[in-house]
Structures are given as C-alpha cells and as structure tokens.
Chain A
Amino acid sequence: MLFNSQEFLLVFLPLTLILYFAFAGKETLRIWVLISASLFFYAYWDLRFLPLLIVSVMLNWLCSLLHASYKFRSILVAGVALNLLIIGFFKYTNFIIGSVAATAGAVFAPWNIILPLGISFFTFQQISYLVDLKRGAAPVYPFHKYLLYVTFFPQLIAGPIVRHDEIIGQYSFDPMREGVYERLSKGFVLLFIGLFKKMILADTVAKTASFLFNDAATGNTLSFYGSWVAAAAYALQIYYDFSGYSDMAIGLGSMFGLSIPVNFNAPYLAVSIRDFWRRWHITLSRFLRDYLYIPMGGSRFGMPRQIAALMVTMLLGGLWHGAGWTFVIWGGLHGLALVVNHIWEKTGVSLPTPFGWILTLLFVLFGWVIFRADNMGTAVSIIRSMVGLNGASFDLPDIMPPIRIFYYALPAFIGPTSQRLVTHWLRPRPIYAAVVACTLFYLALKAGDGDYSEFIYFQF
C-alpha cells in the first residue's frame, strides 16, 4: 500500500487513527493497534514478505534478551552477522555471483530472489540496536515495543532510519497529551506537503528523466542540452520523491503523537559536499557515521586512517543503495569528494560561498547521472554529452520544456523546507486549513487515477 493511494488515504489511515485514539488511554492496546496496522500495511504488498520481517524481529529481540540474561556479547555479534547475512542473501547474492562470474568470463543467469521491501531500512535499524546493546547504550525493550520500533508503518519501507532511543520512549507518551491538535494539524500538513511533492512534482519531472535516461540506455546519444535536462530532472525527481516520502512519514508519526527525525534539509543549497551529506538523507548519514565511520577510527587516528574510513563508509553507503556497480562508483566518488573536502578544510582556505554551492551542485548532478543510469556505459555517454564531448547540440525531444524544469526546481532552491514551513510558518488559521483540505481532496482523487508510481527508495 502506497501513501499516495486511495486505499491508504481514505481507508487505512482514517481507520488506524480512529482505532489508535479510541485506545489512546491504554498504552499496550494502542501499541498493538499500531503493530497490527503496520503488519497489515506490510503484508498488503506481498504476504510472503511478512514471515521474514517477523522472524527477523523475533531473532533480534531474542539476541537482546539472551545478552541481557546471560551477558553473551558474542550473541550480539552473531545477531549483527545474521542481519548482514539476511540482507546479503536477498540483496547481494546475484550481484556478488554475477560479478565473480563476469570476472571469470562465465555466464550467470541471476537467481529469482525477490527483494523484501524495506529490508535495507529495517535491517539497519536492528543492527544499530544490537550495536548499542553491545556498547551498553541500550536497554532490553518489551517485545511489543521493539516490534513496533521495527515495523512502525510510516517509516518501515523507506525510513527515516530511527534510533531506538529516540522513539521507543515516546510509545509511553499519552497521544492525548497537550498539543494533540497541533501535532495532528502539522501531521496532516506534512502529509499534504509530501503528497504534493511526490504526486505533482516528482512524478511529473520523472517522465522527463525516465524518457531521457531510457533513450540513452537504448544507445542513443543525448544532446548537450538533453543530457543536462536529464540530470536536472532526475536530481529533482529523487529529491521530491524521497523528501516527500520522508515528509509523509514524519507527518504520519506526528498524527500518532510520535516524533520522527528529519531526513532532509534543503540539500541542494549545500555549499560543500560535507554540507550536502548533513542535509541529504540525514538519518542514513548519521547511521553511517556512528556505526561505520567512527568505529573505523573516524578522524582520531590521523589523515590516512580517516581517508580510509571515509572511503570504506561511502563505498558501503553506495552499495547499500543497490546491488550494482553504478551505486558503488557513486558512493566511491562521494567518498573521494569528502576526502578532498576534508583536506581542503585543513588548508584553511575557504571558497566563496556561491562558488562552493555551484561546485557542490555540479558534483551532485554528475553523481546522480551515475546513480540513475542503468549501467556505466549509459552514465559515461550522458556525462560525455554534459561536458560537450558529444557535440554542442541543443536538440531536445518534444518533452517537458526546460523552462518548466526551472519552475519545478524553484521549491528546492528558494522554497522553505517542509519542516520550516510547518514549524515556523504554519499558523492555526481557518483559511490555511481550508486550503490544505481542498488540495488534499484533489490529491486524494488524483491518487485514484491509478497512474502513480512507487517511491524510488522502495527499491533500496
């Protein structure tokens, strides 16, 4: 069930909210309402995924219980290894065997392994919990709270990646506590913003991006102009798509009285690549920093070690996005850029802000081409067009005119972030409520047209 579907907006969400608030005074009951709703939400995609999710949660929770009872530290290591094995099997088997086979010159027909939705997200959440347990920084939670922590439907499929200590404690808060209507209002508004970003902005620019990238994938050479439009369209698509999803997740959490961490903060205004990663997919950056980069030494053991830590972190971060060399190379390039960024900072020379912004944006755009392209051949072809190596033609197929791309880019560059809009600008004025209601009405009907697309991050 997609957030941008009528089943979700008109049936699932209202029913879950009604039931949740009906049992608002009874903590255990309302938690089970959310768990039941979340499991139904997950099983609605494909019932076959559900057992894996439940077994994964039970095994991880058992690890925590055994650790607490018998102080087996190795059980936690085994738990982390098990999580990595599960994700490795489902996500990387074909990639690894295919790569080995290609190196050996053999032909490999990929196995038919279905990737369970959200596996990258719920696995990371559980790994972070086991690691925190090992560090002595986490308690053992009651099963139902742990189950909800992993399965909570707003962030189950595509994040934000939430830490146990920033959400599980909130389950005990009475949803009817002071501020309930403000939380509900802001939740609705964030849901509306997210839907708008996804259905109006992302899905529209996606048509242009898909057309041009598919055209390039079939062997056609994009013009200079076309390649830049392709890169810009995809940059906007992935931003509106994923930040829209995150807005909806945070908004839905707010409706249930739960605060979910912010995932985006105007990433295309970043003035350096470090700044970009503080603004893009913030909860993933935080995870990679706390559970990979810092344990590998971070900046504590000198520059060479830091460079190695950065590169490994970003290569794995790239691989996390998908089992493909384009993702690995994309991650590696970002790792390199971060290394350059760190070294540059050591020199004490600072770039003028506009220059830093343009440089960062250009780098990110080129990076997205590699990220989106079906293979490196296509990516290289588009990049060659972008730098003029395929001629300086301004031909563009009859698709979205570039001026419209420009309009679609405006919210990303000059608009307030959703969080700022909701927390600083939104006031409880009737006219705002009416505008949101009208637009939600339109979006709810639009959701019924059936031509919506899945969120990009569902595939990761």
Chain B
Amino acid sequence: MGITVNSFISNSDARWKGFVRILIIAFVGLFAAGYLFILIVDPYGMLPISFDFDRGPITAEQRFFYPNLAKKSQFDSAIIGTSTIRLLNPDDVNPLLESKFVNLAMNAASVFEQEAIFDVFLRYHPYPKTVIFGVDHVYFDKNNYAKHIGAVKPEHFPEWMYDENPLNDWLPYNWRTMQITLKQFKCITGMRPFKFRVDGYEDFTKTMFAHDIDHIREVIYGSKTPKEKKPVEPAVQATPELIKSFAFPAIGHLDRMLSRLPDTTRKIVIFPPFHIYHQATPGSEEAVKWQEFKRRVADLVCRYQNAALFDFMIESPITTRDENYFDKTHYSVTVAKKIAHWIAREGVSQADNPNFNRYCNPMTASFKR
C-alpha cells in the first residue's frame, strides 16, 4: 500500500554514489572542522592545552566563565562571595590595597560554589596578596546550606570546570557549545564586547537610577511609605541553651578557605550592609542568632594571621538610607566605593566609624597602612 522509496530506484546509481560521497564527506568534514574550531577557541579557557587568547565572560553565566578568570596570572587577589559583594570594584580596591583583584563573587552562590571557585583561584595563585570574603545569609541560613548539599546540578554548576581532572575538560560537542564558541571568537577578535569585564566586575545596578525612590521603597518595604520595625518586647534573652541550639555549618567552609591561605595573605572578611529593614528585628530570636553568628565568625577570623573582619550589617548611616539601595540586600556603587575605602585605609585609623564594627584588633603590622 502507498508509495515506497524503493519503487523509484533509477539507473543513475553512479550519480547517487557521488551524492552519498559528498554528503558523507561534507558532514564528516564539517563535523571535524567544527570541533577543531571549538578546540582552538576554547570558549571557557578550560582545555589542558589552549592558546593564550584574551578570553572573558561572554554571557551572564558566571559559573561557566569565572573559573577561567580565576586562572588568569594577571591577578594576585580575589573577592569571593555572592551578589552582595559583587559591586566591590577591583578598580577601586586595587590602588588602595596595591593588589590586582579579580571579583569572583557569583550571584546566589552557595558556600560550596564559593569554595569551588576559591579552590581554582588558589590552585593557580598559591600565594595571593589579598582575599576578600563576603559572608552573608548564605552562611547564616542552615536550611539554605542543607538545600545545597549534593544538590548542585551540573547544568547550573559545571563541576568539571572546577575540579583537577583534565580528562573531563573536553567540551561537549553540541550547538550550545558552538554558539558560545562563536561568541567568544567574536569577543576575542574585537567584533563584540565581553558581557562582563575580564576582572569579573559588573555593575548590575545600572538600572537603579532609572527607578525613583518610590520604586526602591516598594522593593524594600512593599509600599511607597517607609516602615519601621518595632523592637520585640520583651526582648528574647540570649540564654546559654538558646545559644547552644544555633548551628551554622557553613562557617566550616570559611574556616577551610582561611586555613588554606598563607599567613602572608591579607584576609578580609565582610558582613555586607543589608538594608536595616531586612536585618533582624531588635529583641527577636533572629537578632540573637545573628549576634551569635557574627561572634562565631569573628572568633574564627581572628584566629588567623593577617585577618580582619568588618561588620557593615548594623544600623548605620548606610543601612538606614533608602537611596543607598537597589533592593533589600544590594547597595549602590557609591556605597561599594566607600566600603572599599574603609576596609583598605580607614578600617584601621577610624575604628569609631559609625558605618561598621571592626573585629580582630590589633591587626598585624603588614595590614596596617
């Protein structure tokens, strides 16, 4: 029934032989040329043998492009954390700390991801000059930590780019890789700009100035009118039993990272300035918990040589001014500039600055400027 392919076999088999030959040769040729192109461009800069092109981030997928940045020899210092520390601009920090920073902070990075990118950086820079860690709710929240254990999916987090196994660095041969390769090729040859700067910095608040204060308040308070948090009364008491019940397993990752840094490396840990409305309500159990969290982090950091801890997550001129914010946890680049300045210079001389608390005192001489 119906038409069949074989019913139309003609006598021109020699020409069909040519057809098959061209089809197979063209397909195999394209296939080989395509992969060769990927190998030469090496879009993520991860292959064991690779041309020394000036690669950079070409899409917003930080997890795919930052391992390459972490390997670059032009840097000697790094910033590790989440988006709450991403606005720390290497251009601001470099001259202040006489370092060459790469900002490896990734949006919503779990502590596992932060440690993974730190590992890559340390592998290629065993004696860093300075490392800045942003310690925020990702370290504080036990549930967030538990959620990430064993749940980092390869499509979101390409573990193969972070490990030490060169055998798994060969790229999958698919259309997505080909598109990425084409984009990287265009960036390398100057036909298009990189998505982010090659030092990892990106001002993701560029759009904030398009928003008026009403919009910002809407994001912060859920209304155009500022709200105030009333302290909980009576205040929850920090009893030994309550304190003992708090667990912050993610701090172990910070400990591990700090312990792997040489004594000569400056270690700066920051609690970033969340807007006051999104900090714990005074007198609440959460406030007690944050206090205890900060204390444990401070105890840890101060055990290390050449380390300092700056707590910006307090009630301060920064955190109480709505105009300083993009949303509840992300501040403006102006604030980021101030933070850079304070941690580099005035952290030592201005211990009474109302914008932060400083721990680990006295600092080592090398840290003092």
Question: Which B residues are in CB contact (< 8 Å) with A329?
Answer: none
Interface string of A428-450 (1 = CB under 8 A from B): 11101110111011101111111
Cβ–Cβ contact B10 & A419, under 8 A: no
Chain A interface size, under 10 / 10 to 19 / 20 to 34 / 35 or more: 35 or more
Is the Cβ of B30 less than 8 Å from the Cβ of A449? no
User: Residue A459 at the B interface, CB < 8 A?
Assistant: no
- With A187-B5, A188-B23, A437-B22 already in contact, the answer to whether A449 and B175 are too (CB < 8 A) is yes
CB of B2 within 8 A of CB of A262, answer: yes
CA distance A432 to B175 in the complex (A): 23
Given contacts A430-B19, A430-B22, A448-B174, contact A422 B5 (CB under 8 A): yes
Known interface pairs A261-B1, A449-B175. Does A432 touch B19 (Cβ–Cβ under 8 Å)?
A: yes
Q: Do A6 and B174 touch (CB < 8 A)? A: yes
Q: Give B173's nearest chain A residue, CB to CB.
A: A448
Complex contact B4–A261 (CB within 8 A): yes
Bound-complex Cα distance A425 to B48 (A)? 49
Does A259 contact B6, Cβ atoms closer than 8 Å?
Answer: yes
Over the window 1-32 of chain B, the binary record of Cβ atoms lying under 8 Å from chain A Cβ atoms (1 yes, 0 no) is 11111111110110111111011111100110
Given A186-B5, A254-B5, A282-B2: A444 and B23 interface contact (C-beta under 8 Å): no
CB-defined contacts of A261 to chain B, threshold 8 Å:
1-2, 4
Residues on the B chain within 8 Å of A182, using CB: 9-10, 12-13, 16
B172 in contact (CB, < 8 A):
yes
Q: For the complex, is A347 an interface residue (Cβ under 8 Å from B)?
A: no
Question: Which listed residue, A180, A251, A259, touches B13 by the CB 8 Å rule?
Answer: A180
Most buried by A among B1, B15, B16: B16
Q: Chain B 160-197, CB within 8 Å of chain A: the 1/0 string?
A: 00000000000011111010000000000000000000
Inter-subunit contact B3/A423 (CB<8 Å): yes
Partner of B19, one of A185, A260, A450: A185
Determine if A423 and B174 form an interchain contact, defined as CB atoms under 8 angstroms apart: no
Q: Is B19 a contact of A178 with CB atoms below 8 Å?
A: no
Cβ-based interface call for A184 (8 A): yes
**Residues in B neighbouring A265, C-beta threshold 8 A:** 2
B18 contact set on A, CB distance < 8 A: 428, 430, 433
Please give, as numbers and ranges, the residues of chain A lying within 8 Å of B252 by CB-CB distance: none
Minimal beta-carbon separation of A399 from chain B (angstroms):
22
Is A179 an interface residue, CB under 8 A from the partner? yes
Interface of B is mostly: helix
| A62 to B: closest C-beta gap in Å | 30
Q: How far is the CA of A184 from the CA of B34 in the complex (A)?
A: 25
Check: A190 CB closer than 8 A to any chain B CB.
yes
CB–CB A444/B31 < 8 A: yes
A158 within 8 A of B: no
CB distance from A442 to the nearest CB of B (A): 7
Q: Does A181 contact B (CB under 8 A)?
A: yes
Pairwise interchain contact B174-A445, C-beta atoms closer than 8 A: yes
Interface residues of A in 245-275 (CB under 8 A from B): 250-251, 253-254, 259-262, 265
Whether a CB of chain B sits under 8 angstroms from the CB of A286 is: yes
Give the contacting residue for B26; candidates A181, A253, A434; CB below 8 A. Answer: A434
Distance in angstroms between the alpha carbons of A182 and B19 in the assembled complex: 8
0/1 string, A174-210, CB within 8 A of B gives 1: 0000111111111110100000000000000000000
Q: From residue B8, how far is it (CB to closest CB) to chain A in Å?
A: 4
Of B5, B9, B12, B24, chain A has the most CB atoms within 10 Å of the CB of: B5
* Contact, CB under 8 Å: A262 / B4: yes
In the complex, which residues 397-434 of chain A have their Cβ closer than 8 Å to any Cβ of chain B? 419-420, 422-424, 428-430, 432-434
Contact check: which of B1, B20, B176 meets A185 at CB < 8 Å?
B20
The reply to whether B6 and A178 form a contact with Cβ atoms under 8 Å apart is: no
Given contacts A190-B5, A282-B2, contact A445 B19 (CB under 8 A): no
Report yes or no: B19 in contact with A179, Cβ–Cβ below 8 A: no
CA distance A190 to B15 in the complex (A): 18
Pairwise interchain contact A437-B1, C-beta atoms closer than 8 A: no
Cβ A428 vs Cβ B1 within 8 A: no
- Which residues of chain B are within 8 angstroms of A180 by Cβ–Cβ distance? 13
Residues of chain B with a CB closer than 8 A to A188's CB: 20, 23
Most chain B CB within a 10 A radius of its CB, from A260, A420, A428, A432:
A428
Cβ–Cβ < 8 Å partners of A186 in chain B: 5
Cross-chain contact of B23 among A178, A286, A436, A448 (Cβ < 8 A) = A436
Interface residues of A (CB under 8 A from B): 6, 178-188, 190, 250-251, 253-254, 259-262, 265, 282, 286, 419-420, 422-424, 428-430, 432-434, 436-438, 440-442, 444-450
Top 4 nearest A-B pairs (CB, nearest first) are A448-B174, A437-B26, A179-B9, A181-B16
Could you list 11 A-B pairs, sorted by A, with CB under 8 Å? A179-B9, A179-B16, A251-B5, A260-B4, A420-B3, A423-B7, A424-B8, A428-B18, A434-B23, A434-B26, A437-B24
